[in-house]
Amino acid sequence: MELFETLKVNVPNVVHETIDGETILLDLKSGNYFSLDGAGAVIWEFIDKTGNWGEVINIMTTANQKQKNNISNAIENFVKKLVEEQLLVKTDVGVKSVETPDLTKQLVDAAGDFKIPLVNKYSDMQDLLLLDPIHDVDEKGWPESKDNQPES
Amino acid sequence: MSKNSNSPFPNKSQELLLQAALLKGEPMKKAWNEWKLAVDFEKDIAYASFRMLPLLYNNLHTQGVKDALMPRLKGMYRKSWSNNHLLFHKTAKVLKLLHSNEIPTIVMKGIALTIEVYKNYSVRPMADMDILVPLAQSGKTIDILKNEGWILQNEQYLEFNLKYGRSATFHDSEKTELDLHWHPIFEAHDNISKDDFWDSSVSLEVAGEKTRAFCLTDNFFHTIVHGLRYNPEPPIRWVADAFTILNSEDCIIDWNRLLRHTKKFRVSLQMKDALNYLIENFQAQVSRNFLEELDKIKSTFSDRLVFHHAKKYGDDNPKTVYEKLYSVYAAYLRQSKHTGLWVQHIGFVRYMHFRTKEKPYFRILIYYSSLLFKKTKKTKIKPD
C-alpha cells in the first residue's frame, strides 16, 4: 500500500475523541469501532493536528536511536493499518504548521519506552451496543466483553 | 433534602450520585464515597442512575479521582459516546430529508443539550431523537417520514394527537426512535403562538446538518417542565440538565423570558418546586427577583390539579379506574388554557367526544360507567 506524505482524518465518516490517554474512533459508515492507546493515541493526535506522519518517525527515531528500525517499521505499519481501515485518507493540503510541544514531548517519552502501537478493531457494533457495560465486560470496561477480544 | 421515591425528585442515593456527577472538590468526593457505600454497583443501578454514569465518569476523571470502578465507568462513557454519535448521524439524515422538503426543524432535549450545553458527546446518553416542526407542517412531515420507511406508532391515535397532543413516535427498521413534536411542550399548548420558542432559537449543526435549537433560557424552561413529572423510573436527569445549563460558562438566563413562559404556559408551581430543589441541594444561582415574581403568580384550579397529577401519577400507567379517569381529566386540563372553568369543561366534553372517536355522548357515559362497574365487580371477588 502506498503511503501519502500527508494524511488527514476521514471526516465526516470518522469521529474520534481522546480520553485519558486512549483514542476512540467510530467509522459511521461501516459501524466499526476502534481504540488506540499508548503511543498509538499520541501518534493519532499528532497526525490529526499536523497531517505529518513522517515527522512522527523523525521525532521518535531521533529520541531512541537504538531502536530506530524497529520504531520506524512499527509506525509505518500502524499508519498503514489506519489508512487500510480508511480512518486516515490522503490530503492534498500540505503539512499544517501547528505548534505541538506537548504532543512532541509525549512522542519522545513514548519512544523511550517503545511499545508497538496497535489498532484495536471491534466490528460488530450492533452486538457491542447490546453488551451490559456493568456485567458483560471485563475489567477494562466496554467494549471489552468477558468472552471476546478485539481484532488487532 | 431528598424527596421520597413517589415524586419526580431524586431519592437519597440518586441525590448522592448527582452530587458526585455534578459538584467539584470536597463535596464531590464526599458524595462519591457515600454513594459507593449506599449502593451495590453490581446489583443496585437502576436505569435512571445508570444513565448518569458517563457524566459521573467525566466529573471524576477530570478531577483526578482514582478508583477500581473507573475502568467500567469509562466503558460506559465509551459506549454512550458511540451510541450518541450513531444517533446524531441518523438524526442528520432525517433533518436533511425534512430540510429538502422545506420543513424547518428544531432539535430538542438530548441532542440540543449535548451540543449546546454539555459540549461532550458521551455524558448524556439518549435513546431517541426529538425533532420539532411547525404545527402547520406536522401532517406533511408525518407523510414524508412514513414514505421514508419510518413506522408511526399508535397510528390509531394520530388524529386525536394532532388536535390535542404534542408529538408522535416513529421507529425505523433498526428500532431507532424518533419523536416528532409539533408543540414543544404539552402544558397549556392552547396558549402557544407559532413563534414561541422559534423566535429565539439558535443555529446548530448536528453531524454536519444545520438546524436550530432552543435558546438556553428555553432549554432550561423545557428541562424543568418536561422533567418534573413522576415516573416509576425517576427522571432525575432533569436535575443534571438544569444544573449544567445554569452553570454553563456561556449561559445567561433571560429571567424575564423565563417568567413570561412560566406564566403563559401555566407552570409556576412546577418552576417553583424545581428551583427550590436546585437551590437547596445544588446551590443553584437563581435571580432573587425572578423568585419573588414567581411567588406573586396566583395558581388556578387547573394549575393545581395538573401539578398534583404530574407529581403523584405523572407518566405512570394508571392502575385503577379512579387513576385512569383522573389521568384523562388531567391530560385534558394539561393541554388547555387553564383558565375559565366553565369554558374548559365544555371543552372537556368535546375532548372526550373526540377521544372516544366521536361516539354518541350517551355511549361515552356507558363506557366509563362500565369501567367503574367492572372495577366494582372485581373488588367483590375475593381470592381463595
* Same domain flag for B246 and B322: no
Residue B235 lies in a domain: yes
Q: Domain coordinates of chain A in residue numbers?
A: 7-130
Q: What is the mean pLDDT of chain B?
A: 89
State the Cα–Cα distance between residues B98 and B104, nearest whole angstrom.
Answer: 7
Q: What is the 3-state secondary structure (H, E, C) of B187-229?
A: CCHHHCCCCCCCCCCEEEEECCEEEEECCHHHHHHHHHHHHCC
pLDDT digits (tens, 9 = 90+) for B310-322: 888 888 888 888 8
CB contact under 8 A, B79 and A142: yes
Q: What is the ipTM of this complex?
A: 0.91
Which of A15, A128, A141 is opposite residue B74, by nearest beta carbon?
Answer: A141
**Per-residue pLDDT, B343:** 76
Q: What is the mean pLDDT of chain A?
A: 90
* Same domain flag for B204 and B111: yes
Categorize the per-residue pLDDT at A4 as very low, low, confident or very high, splitting at 50, 70 and 90: low
Look up the domain containing B68 and give its range: 12-258
Question: Which run of H or of E encompasses B171?
Answer: strand B167-171
Residue B44 lies in a domain: yes
A20 CB-near residues (< 8 Å, 6+ apart): B61, B74
Which of A17, A20, A135 is opposite residue B81, by nearest beta carbon?
Answer: A17
* Closest-CA residue of chain A to B122: A17
CB of B332 closer than 8 Å to CB of B318 = no
* Same domain flag for B81 and B153: yes
Residue B295 lies in a domain: no
Chain B residues within 8 A of A26 when measuring between CB atoms: 81-82, 85-86
CB contact under 8 A, A141 and B121: no
**Per-residue pLDDT, A2:** 58
**Per-residue pLDDT, B173:** 93
State the Cα–Cα distance between residues B249 and B252, nearest whole angstrom.
Answer: 9
B63 or B301, higher pLDDT: B63
* Same domain flag for B100 and B160: yes
Instruction: Out of B220, B243, B258, pick the residue that ends a domain.
Output: B258
What is the percentage of chain B residues whose pLDDT exceeds 70? 91
Residue B286 lies in a domain: no
* Same domain flag for B204 and B340: no
Residue B265 lies in a domain: no
pTM for this prediction = 0.89
* Residue B138 clears pLDDT 50, i.e. is over it: yes
B122 touches chain A (CB under 8 A): yes
* Same domain flag for B241 and B359: no
Q: How far is CA A3 from CA A6, A7, A41, A79, A88, in A?
A: 8, 9, 19, 8, 10
* Same domain flag for B71 and B155: yes
DSSP track, B90-121: HHHHHHHHHHHTT---EE-HHHHHIIIII--S
Which of the residue ranges A94-103, A138-147, B60-69, B371-380 would you say has the lowest mean pLDDT? B371-380
* Same domain flag for B225 and B316: no
Q: Grid cell 457505600 — which residue?
A: B37
pLDDT digits (tens, 9 = 90+) for B9-44: 899 999 999 999 999 999 999 999 999 999 998 887
3-state helix, strand, coil in chain A (%, to 5): 40, 20, 40
Residue B300 lies in a domain: no
Q: Quick one: DSSP state of residue B383? A: P
Which CATH number fits the domain that encloses residue B110? Answer: 3.30.460.40
Residue B317 lies in a domain: yes
* Same domain flag for B57 and B190: yes
B113 or A128, higher pLDDT: B113
Rounded mean pLDDT of A22-31? 95
Question: Which run of H or of E encompasses A134?
Answer: none
* Residue B191 clears pLDDT 50, i.e. is over it: yes
* Same domain flag for B254 and B311: no
* Same domain flag for B65 and B140: yes
Residue B268 lies in a domain: no
The helices-and-strands tally (H runs, E runs) of chain A is: 5, 6
Rounded mean pLDDT of B57-80? 96
